[in-house]
Amino acid sequence: MPPRLSPTFSLSFGNTAWEKTAAASQRQFSQSSCRQATLRRRKFYDWLNGPGAQLKERIPGSTNYLGAYDRFGNLVRASPGWQRPKPGEEKSVSKESAPKVAKESEPADTDKGSEGDGTPAGQETADELEMAVRRNEQDKKAEMGDADQQLPPETAEDLRPFPLNKHFRSQPVLSEELREAIYQRVKRDGVTVSLASVEFGVSNERVGAVVRLKQMEKEWIAQGKTLALPYSKAVLDMIPTTPYIDPSRPENKGKRPIIHEPINDLPVHPATRQQLFVPVAESYQYTRTDAGKAFDNNLLPADVRIPHPELVQAERELAQGLSFEERRRLATERYAAEKAKKDREEKKKKAEEAALKRIPQRRWDFVFQDINTERVGKNERSEKGVGWRYGFPHEDRKKGQVKIPTEVDA
């Protein structure tokens, strides 16, 4: 092993040019790859101050993702004359006049799926829906200022926060106005969740969640709590949003609402993941129902399993050529039957609740229920028999027993 000389030793020794070049050409005595690290750091800062500088602050009124830039930090969709707006000019471009929509925009067409250009039969495309949103936003912006300073609407690539992942993009969220409209429709007009879902093109669960969150927000306002409004404004400015087309406004006449997301999502049943070869007579009318049976005996066809089977029913009646009156009668009958069923279930639940004996306490209530300890089953461990039984140790200290709660009651 060569002796370790400190690097300063040779440098401090002589001053002639020959000695300097010799020192430089000699091997490195330091064991750390200091130079490499420095090089990497320099590259990092070069990138941050070069192409990365565009991502430091948001573009007012637009998204700003890595996928929208090329390698040199140029915004791909911008026209050559485009200048990044200064933070001071933010007011002029921000979404103050969001509900103003000038041109007639085509609403997302749901019956395109069956025509089959790229999409298989009966399926919708998410891309269509989102392009409608973006086109609409573009119309709104185009009306407001000169064309050169306006950014064209984002393509799917521009909305990629992770450029390598082609299967993920930032999808629009509901705008404030749309949330308020959904809340008012459900709370004030008393519309059912599924109807509101169809009207606004927002999935059932989302309608429920919007109402729940909005209700809480309004309670906060009544209590005088401080909302996180600056945060909310900034975030909603950074991500794409689905605008609300207010039908009561005169400029929105004859427009359909923008569909936020596909509402009839069919979950892929695990039984259908395998491929089946089922020989069938050619004369046999082999329908979806039969196909479902082939996979799993209990698998229902798609028109029952989707979240809005009533839409299929209504469409079927339309196809049968029933008159408007007739269809309305059938729809009201169905609605009444559904309501009666719901009421019955609720009544049953209430009766069960009433059967419990409840003793209120300060934080929690004691609830008593009649239990037969003898119903422990064959292995004497069934949940129907409760309580600790002699000879059976608790399992909660065993290895692998997770004590994190699995659910929280709402």
Partner 1 sequence: MPRKAAKYHSLKKIRVRQDWSRWSLFHLANLRPPNVATRTYFQQKWTAKSETRAYHGEHIREKKWRRQFRRDLPAVVPMDHKYLARHDGSEQAAGRGAGADTQDKPRVPAMTPYMQMTYWPLERRLDTAIFRALFASSARQARQFVVHGLVKVNGKQMLYPGYNLNPGDMFQVEPSSVMFATGAPKTRSAVARRIAAEKRAASSEAYEKAKADKPSSTPPEPMPSRPEPTPAELKKHMQSIMESVKEVLESGVGAKDKQKLRDFRNTIRKAISLWRTASPESVSTLDTQYAFLQSRLSTPSTDASAPQTPGPPPTSLTDDETGQLKAAFDRLKAESDYDSTWNKRDASKPYMTPWRPRDYMNAFAFIPRYLEVNQNICAAVYLRHPVARPGLSEVPTPFPIETGQLAFNWYLRRR
Report the C-alpha gap between 364 and 382 in whole angstroms.
27
Nearer to partner 1, 111 or 146 (CB): 111
Nearer to partner 1, 36 or 297 (CB): 36
Shortest reach from residue 33's CB to partner 1, in Å? 9
118 lies in the site for partner 1, by CB under 8 A: yes
Nearer to partner 1, 40 or 329 (CB): 40
Report the C-alpha gap between 85 and 70 in whole angstroms.
19
Amino acid symbol at 299: L
Report the C-alpha gap between 31 and 50 in whole angstroms.
32
Pairing of strands 357-359, 366-368: antiparallel
Nearer to partner 1, 190 or 267 (CB): 267
User: Six-digit token pair at 123?
Assistant: 């399926």
Residues 76-115 that bind partner 1 (CB under 8 A): 110-111, 113-114
Report the C-alpha gap between 258 and 263 in whole angstroms.
13
Nearer to partner 1, 101 or 202 (CB): 202
316 lies in the site for partner 1, by CB under 8 A: yes
Nearer to partner 1, 86 or 253 (CB): 86
162 lies in the site for partner 1, by CB under 8 A: yes
Who's near 229: CB < 8 A, 6+ residues apart? none
40 lies in the site for partner 1, by CB under 8 A: yes
Taking CB under 8 A as the criterion, the residue among 173, 294, 299, 322 binding partner 1 is 173
Count, residues near partner 1 per rule CB under 8 A: 117
* Contacting range for partner 1; rule: CB under 8 A; set: 21-29, 91-99, 214-222, 362-370: 214-222
Phi and psi for 21 in degrees, rounded to 5?
-65, -35
Pairing of strands 173-174, 357-359: unpaired
Nearer to partner 1, 23 or 193 (CB): 193
321 lies in the site for partner 1, by CB under 8 A: no
Report the C-alpha gap between 7 and 316 in whole angstroms.
87
Taking CB under 8 A as the criterion, the residue among 166, 328, 341, 342 binding partner 1 is 166
Quote the strand ranges of 302-390, DSSP E: 357-359, 366-368
Residues 5-34 that bind partner 1 (CB under 8 A): none
Report the C-alpha gap between 156 and 66 in whole angstroms.
12
Taking CB under 8 A as the criterion, the residue among 7, 20, 21, 47 binding partner 1 is 47
User: Six-digit token pair at 87?
Assistant: 């933070």
Who's near 247: CB < 8 A, 6+ residues apart? 253, 255, 257
Shortest reach from residue 330's CB to partner 1, in Å? 14
Report the C-alpha gap between 293 and 300 in whole angstroms.
8
Nearer to partner 1, 186 or 210 (CB): 210
Amino acid symbol at 390: Y
Who's near 100: CB < 8 A, 6+ residues apart? 140, 143, 251
Shortest reach from residue 115's CB to partner 1, in Å? 10
Shortest reach from residue 401's CB to partner 1, in Å? 13
Taking CB under 8 A as the criterion, the residue among 282, 325, 374, 395 binding partner 1 is 282
Taking CB under 8 A as the criterion, the residue among 17, 24, 319, 355 binding partner 1 is 319
Residues 225-264 that bind partner 1 (CB under 8 A): 225-232, 234-236, 238-239, 261-262, 264
